Chain A
Amino acid sequence: MGYMLLYSVGGTGLLSTGWTLRYWHEALQDSETWISLGYSFAIGLVSLVLALALALALQTGLGPQVRRGPLRSLLFVPLAIPALVAALLSVELFGNAGLLARLAYAAGWIARPNDFPDLLFTAAGSGIVLTYVLLVAPFLLLLLDRLARHERVDDLTWVARTLGASRWQAWRRVTLPVLLRASMPTLSVYFIVLVGAFEVPLLVGASYPQMISVLVQRKFSQFDLTSKPQAYVVACLYGVLAMSLLMALFSWCSRRENEGVNH
């Protein structure tokens, strides 16, 4: 980190001509920096929220099936898929000539590969979100299932129901808050990891806007050596942001925990 800071103010580096704030000025003025930062956090948040929603829906829909037989083991399979392979699969599944497009053709919905809606390489990041949602949801489902047993959600729901709560009320007022509170530390770490993701946005993301890791890598490996300090500026900025966010989340979580103990 210290070195990045030094390089970014011209204190060191190949083309260093002395101390300067030029690179900071340039990178901070460059709208791409801010767009990329906002874009990364937005993609991370949307992916995580959708994955969580899918996991919660599956948990309600599957009920005790989650714990039974082959499905339980199969839910571990996505944990064996590295990000690079997930990106490859995404292209082969959701691309214009992918398996989904072929199914759509077989069903008579489209006539040509180009008729299939563009899911990948879109500026909205649909491909990245789709890939992460499918990759993360099974893991979250396993996590929620374990937490539900650990926190005895079934018993709590039963109490709420006997006290007159409807099925929906019991889920909304008891199950959801208990599970969210218990899974918050894990979810926050996952969020940060998704924001800094590299392989999936590199392979199924748009060329503009780019997620932060892709932007830093691109700026860093450009032939123009003056873009290197800028890569460090963006990296510094992101590092400080991500770390303070993580610290804030952790202190929030531990405060919640202490409150839980006091009550």
Chain B
Amino acid sequence: MRRGLAVFVALALLLPLALLLMLSLARQWMWPALLPEQWQLRVWRDLLSDTAGIGSAVGRSVLMAVGVGIAATSLGFPTSRQVARHRRRGRLLALIHLPYALSPVVLGVSLLYMFLKWHLAGHMAGVMLAQLVFAYAYAVILLSGFWNAHTDALVDLARTLGAERRQVWWRVLVPMAMPMLSVCLFQTFLISWFDYPLTLLIGSGQVQTLTIRLFEYFSSGDIRLAASCAVLLMLPPLLALLVNHRLLSHSAAPHPDTLDD
């Protein structure tokens, strides 16, 4: 019975992927057919030859996500140490959840006016800055789990052996934290890559990313293009899952528990 349930759950988890692929490949899929009646590769050919102009949206999304990921991780690592060593660590960590408590829409609305004044609204840099608020908070929360008595002892040891401050960071701490830093980099990449509300509000329609395109296709009823955008959007995390599911072991909301050992 357990095996049966396991097979059912596995199929249910594969269903969304299969459905998205079928939607992007269907030429005709009328009610009440269970499977598409006719197939086509047109949408994907169009995507690859970029007749729909999705290429630039994908490029912009990648650029923004890579930038946000690198900035959040490199800023978050030193900050997480300060936070972890702070006397009121618990209270600080709770405060860092503020962007998540406010939700992207409320935060986006409150940032928008300031960004309008600083001419950041409607620009890629502005959207990235807003996404960075979330990504940075996420990085600090995730990486604060790295610091413990063991890391402190190693820092002391390295300093006693004559290492300079810089050397301690680059030769000891960064290599030690590498697995966690790569998880952090990937997850903060995803925060930007998956973001819709902040791009909508701060971007004010000027910053066309993959998620904005997906929403436009979906609301205009072009389900084939929307489904292919969705497949593209899920490609990086699915590839990461194939390579090493540890990379996904912390999901988009910050939480202290890892899903892996």
Contacts and interface: CB of A to CB of B under 8 A. Distances in A.
A199 B109 contact: no
B256 A93 contact: no
Contacts of B200: 217
A143 B258 CA distance: 8
Interface in A167-201: 183, 185-186, 189-190, 192-193, 195-199
- 8 closest cross-chain pairs (CB), A and B: A196-B103, A80-B237, A82-B194, A213-B105, A186-B255, A250-B94, A105-B32, A242-B101
Contacts of A142: 259
Interface of A: 1, 3-4, 7, 12, 58, 61-63, 65, 68, 70-71, 73-85, 88-89, 92-93, 97, 99, 101-103, 105-106, 113, 138-139, 142-143, 146-147, 149, 183, 185-186, 189-190, 192-193, 195-199, 203, 212-214, 216-217, 220, 231-232, 235, 238-239, 242-243, 245-247, 250-251, 254
18 contacts: A3-B113, A4-B110, A58-B9, A62-B9, A80-B237, A81-B16, A83-B194, A84-B196, A84-B218, A101-B32, A189-B100, A190-B255, A193-B103, A196-B105, A212-B103, A239-B102, A242-B101, A246-B94
Interface string B60-85: 00000000000000000000000000
Majority DSSP secondary structure for residues of A touching B: helix
B33 to A, nearest CB: 7
B211 A84 contact: yes
A103 B34 contact: yes
Given A81-B16, A232-B109, A146 B102 contact: no
A65 B101 CA distance: 35
B163 interface: no
Given A82-B193, A199-B197, 11 more contacts: A65-B6, A77-B238, A80-B240, A80-B241, A85-B230, A139-B251, A142-B259, A149-B261, A189-B255, A190-B253, A217-B197
Interface string B161-200: 0000000000000000000000000000000011011001
Interface stretch (B17-25, B45-53, B123-131, B142-150): B17-25
Contacts of A70: 10
A92 B23 contact: yes
A84 B209 CA distance: 13
A76 B241 contact: yes
Interface string B1-44: 01101100110011111011001000000011110000000000
Interface in B210-249: 211, 214-215, 218, 223, 226-227, 230, 233-234, 237-238, 240-241, 245, 248-249
B105 A73 contact: no
Contact of A71 (B9, B93, B226): B9
Contacts of B13: 74-75, 77-78, 138
Contacts, number: 208
A243 B14 contact: no
Nearest to B110: A4
B105 A216 contact: yes
B104 interface: yes
B157 interface: no
Which of B214, B237, B251, B256 lies at the interface centre, i.e. has the most chain A CB atoms within 10 A of its CB?
B251
Contact of B19 (A12, A99, A214): A99
B233 to A, nearest CB: 6
Contacts of B154: none
A50 B249 CA distance: 22
B122 to A, nearest CB: 14
Contacts of A101: 31-32
A132 B161 CA distance: 53
A149 to B, nearest CB: 8
A4 B109 contact: yes
B228 to A, nearest CB: 11
Contacts of A103: 34
B103 A73 contact: no
Contacts of A81: 16, 234
B16 A246 contact: no
A68 B3 CA distance: 11
A185 B258 contact: no
Contact of B196 (A92, A199, A243): A199
B247 to A, nearest CB: 9
A196 B106 CA distance: 8
Contact of A238 (B9, B19, B106, B258): B106
Contacts of A93: 15-16, 19
